[in-house]
Amino acid sequence: MEAEGRLYFKYGVMGSSKTAQALMSRFNYIQKGYGVLLIKPSIDNRFQDGKPEVISRIGLRADCLTFGNNESLKAIVEKQKAERAVDVIIVDESQFLTKEQVDELKLISKDTPVVCYGLLTNFKTELFEGSKRLLELADEVVNLKGSVCKCGRDATVNARLVNGKVTTTGAEILIGAEESYESMCYWCFNDKLNQNEEEKDR
């Protein structure tokens, strides 16, 4: 079965149902008879009993393959295609891809559609390496809106909280600490940063 070969990047902040949509897309493809390869970077180790899974906040889940940042996605896809039908590739947590891996996905997408789901920016409002390259190469980019700031505006920032206060310092990647993040609009994010500075000056 053939499908149009394109590279898609569907991004949103935390809580915008990225993973749920990835899993629903997988289900829909399978229902139509497509062979789906579901993969994600191994740095996202949120799975149970050592079994690689893609898990959404609403409880949807599916087995997946994981890969390290030094692994070739071209080699992984070729191996999978030699063993079974792979008509569509779905990538979760695509912000953690390396530039080289995105380049590989672009080449793969010539013959096999590749759909990437992930964050656009980190808690400093800066592009992740993988997201930056996806913006540069994707045939179609979709903003998955749906997460709302407490003020009512669309949430666009993945703010990191330490002791209840917004911070822009620390390591870029902090896996499995969802309680340390809050999706908010840029203006609330900026206000909270300014409040922190005012408190320091007192």
Q: Of the listed 2, 4, 83, 93, which one is catalytic?
A: 93
pTM of the prediction?
0.90
Q: Is residue 192 part of a domain?
A: no
Q: Is residue 157 part of a domain?
A: no
Cα–Cα distances (Å) from 138 to 44, 106, 162, 201, in that order, read 23, 7, 34, 45
Specify the residue for token string 């493809």. Answer: 29
What is the rounded distance in angstroms from the CA atom of residue 28 to the CA atom of residue 22? 10
Collect the ranges in the chain with pLDDT lower than 50.
1-3
Domain that holds residue 96: 7-146
Q: Encoding tokens for residue 102?
A: 């995105």
Q: Is residue 198 part of a domain?
A: no
- Residue 86: per-residue pLDDT: 96
Q: Residue type at 29? A: Y
Q: Is residue 136 part of a domain?
A: yes
Q: Is residue 153 part of a domain?
A: no
Q: Residue type at 149? A: C
Q: Is residue 39 part of a domain?
A: yes
Residue 176, Cβ density class (10 Å: 0-12 exposed, 13-18 middle, ≥19 buried):
exposed
Q: Residue type at 88? A: V
**Which CATH number do you get for residue 40?**
3.40.50.300
Q: Is residue 105 part of a domain?
A: yes
- Residue 2: per-residue pLDDT: 43
Domain count, the chain: 1
- Residue 1: per-residue pLDDT: 42
| Helix, strand, or coil (residue 76) | helix
- Residue 171: per-residue pLDDT: 85
Q: Is residue 19 part of a domain?
A: yes
Residue 182 annotated in active site = no
- Residue 160: per-residue pLDDT: 94
CA atoms within 13 A on the CB side of 113: 16
Q: Is 197 in contact with 33 (CB distance < 8 Å)?
A: no
